[in-house]
């Protein structure tokens, strides 16, 4: 089974949205059963729900985040994944520093499509901000799919 972990700061906005968007992408490709997809947060505590606007933005796309529970990006979890996709350079630095043996598995989402920079956090933003973030995430995930497959093989 192929395994991908999406990581952001608190595991309440970006990474849970990326998780369900990637699952939908896999479903559309007929590959959902071949993958393990999860999300976590560098500074997350366990059990927090996705933000209301993250849930609403996904609901508008027919996706469900209502049962999401945050989890910290701890070493025992990280070791279980082939590719770890983070939202910011700081996430990458923190995880690589704490887990140097896993450094070659950790990539920023923009890095996967050859773009510099971070994927900004919509936390505290309006529903429109979240919907724009969801659209951009969806595009980045779609455009990075072949790169992710290449990294896992």
Q: Which of 8, 13, 105, 110 is catalytic?
A: 8
Please indicate whether residue 13 is annotated as part of the active site: no
Q: Which of 13, 14, 105, 110 is catalytic?
A: 14
Q: Please tell me which residue in 82, 118, 121, 138 is annotated as part of the active site.
A: 121
First to last CA, the chain: 11
**Whether residue 138 lies in the annotated active site:** no
What letter does residue 104 receive in the DSSP assignment?
Answer: G
Taking CA atoms, 33 is separated from 7, 29, 37, 43, 102, in Å, by 21, 11, 10, 30, 25
Residues 21 and 61: their CA atoms lie apart, in Å, by: 9
The SS3 of residue 38 is strand
Q: Looking at the annotation, which residues are catalytic?
A: 8, 14, 121
């Amino acid at each position: 089974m192929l395994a991908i972990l999406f990581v952001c700061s608190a595991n309440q906005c970006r990474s849970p949205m990326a998780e369900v968007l990637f699952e939908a992408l896999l479903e559309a490709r007929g590959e959902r059963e071949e993958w393990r997809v999860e999300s976590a947060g560098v500074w997350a505590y366990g059990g927090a729900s996705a933000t209301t606007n993250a849930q609403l933005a996904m609901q508008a796309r027919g996706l469900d985040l209502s049962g999401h529970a945050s989890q910290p990006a701890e070493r025992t979890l990280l070791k279980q994944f082939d590719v770890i996709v983070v939202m910011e350079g700081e996430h990458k630095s923190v995880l690589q520093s704490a887990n140097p043996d896993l450094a070659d598995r950790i990539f920023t989402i923009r890095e996967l499509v050859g773009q510099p920079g971070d994927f900004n956090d919509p936390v505290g933003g309006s529903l429109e901000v979240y919907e724009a973030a969801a659209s951009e995430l969806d595009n980045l995930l779609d455009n990075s799919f072949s790169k992710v497959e290449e990294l896992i093989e």
